[in-house]
Structure 1
Amino acid sequence: MYKRVTLRDTVEVPPEHLADVNPDLVKQLLQDKLEGLMDEDVGSVVSVIEVHDIGDGAVLPNRPGVYYEAEFDALTFDPQMQEVVDGEIVEVVNFGAFVGIGPVDGLLHVSQISDEYLAYDGENNMLASRDSDQTIGEGDAVRARIVTKSIDERNPRDSKIGLTAKQVGLGKHGWLDEERKEREATAGE
């Protein structure tokens, strides 16, 4: 889930910029420092939006810059357990598909995609059903539910998010559209 949050952090202003410490400079320094980082409490910092307050600067021994504490708004992405998310398949492997959900990828294990058995088709880079014509591959839009979450703050790319698409209303968007059309056709009879 995306959230706008108010945070406080300290930023180092290099000596060459000390004559003009302003919200735009502090925003740029905060963006360089924080965007892309993952925090267990607020999630992944997507963007620093606006700086509200810049405190007094502090000098540390043997450090060239001046440190300012700033209060600012940031856009964050914090995936929640049981949240339903829409994403795009960014990679297909023999054990499932990685789904881009915001700034992170979640794993949709092959056992969590469909009740049908899906086999990996490496030549076409997709998972295909042996029982029907259903396939799922890179670029396909999917709707899934977050069922596991393990956030690695030090290396956000190592964070693990587990997804499922086996429940009603979840799965590849094309499959969901077909199911809806079938329901509408049978309801009209």
Structure 2
Amino acid sequence: MFLKVLVTDHVRVDPNKFGMTTDEAVRTQLEESYSGFQDKDIGTVVSVLDVKEVKEGIIIPGDGAAYYESTFELIVFRPELHEAVYGTIEEVTNFGAFMNMGVIRGMIHISQTMDDFVSFSDTGTLTGKDGKKTLAQGDNCIARIVAISYRGEEPKIGLTMRQPGLGKLDWVQADKEKLKRQNAELVAKEAKATKGAKGAKK
């Protein structure tokens, strides 16, 4: 999920920014240093929202930069287990698909792409056995996070689309319309049964 977090850190401002005001220099340095920064506890930094406080700077002998203890707000994306996420299929392989969630991407194993036996075609698509569902690059989908691992620089996100309300947006819409029809049929059936019961009493 996207969150706003408050962070306090010592910001190293390079000498080439000394011509700016202190606040401008600190903000510019934060945007350079924190853009795309990933941390298990904080998440993936999307942007620097605001600089709340900048204390007096210090210079360390032998280092031409200035250090400012600063408090600032960040917008971050922090994946949570069982969270439903929206994204676009970026790549399809014979073992599954990769979904771009805007900030990071997750992997959907072929067995988790749809509630069906799935095969990979030469055209680069995943197709269900019944032939009604296909998944290809560029498809917009809703998935659920089922695994999070932080080994390496980028977090590894495992996704599933086999649960109700998940999958390619076309599938989700089709399921909604099917449920709507079923509910309408059930209401009509109950109304008919009630009308018949009243007629029998007369």
TM over 0.5: yes
What is the distance in 1 between the residues matched to 2:17 and 2:28?
12
Cross-structure match for 2:88: 88
What is the distance in 2 between the residues matched to 1:13 and 1:43?
23
What is the distance in 1 between the residues matched to 2:59 and 2:114?
59
After the TM superposition, which residues 1-189 of structure 1 pair with which residues of structure 2 at under 5 Å, given as runs?
A: 1-122=1-122, 124-152=123-151, 155-156=153-154, 159-189=155-185
How far off its partner does 1:16 sit?
4.0
Counterpart contact for 2:114–2:128, Cα < 8 Å:
no
Amino acid at match of 1:180: K
Structure holding more helix per residue: 2
How far off its partner does 1:58 sit?
1.3
Distance 1:186 1:17, change over 3 A: closer
What is the distance in 2 between the residues matched to 1:132 and 1:19?
64
Which runs of no fewer than 5 residues in structure 1 stay unpaired? Answer: none
Relative contact order, CA 8 A, sep 6+: which one is greater? 1
Q: Deviations over 1:71-107 (max 9, x none)?
A: 1111000000111111111111111110112311100
How far off its partner does 1:59 sit?
1.1
Larger Rg: 2
What is the distance in 2 between the residues matched to 1:130 and 1:166?
15
What is the distance in 1 between the residues matched to 2:170 and 2:179?
14
Amino acid at match of 1:85: V
Distance 1:16 1:181, change over 3 A: closer
SS at match of 1:86: strand
Counterpart contact for 1:77–1:102, Cα < 8 Å:
no
Distance 1:91 1:16, change over 3 A: closer
Amino acid at match of 2:153: N
How far off its partner does 1:19 sit?
5.0
SS at match of 1:188: helix
What is the distance in 2 between the residues matched to 1:14 and 1:32?
11
Counterpart contact for 2:86–2:141, Cα < 8 Å:
yes
Number of residue pairs the alignment of both structures matches: 185
Structure holding more strand per residue: 1
- Displaced runs of 4+ in structure 1, greater than 3 A? none
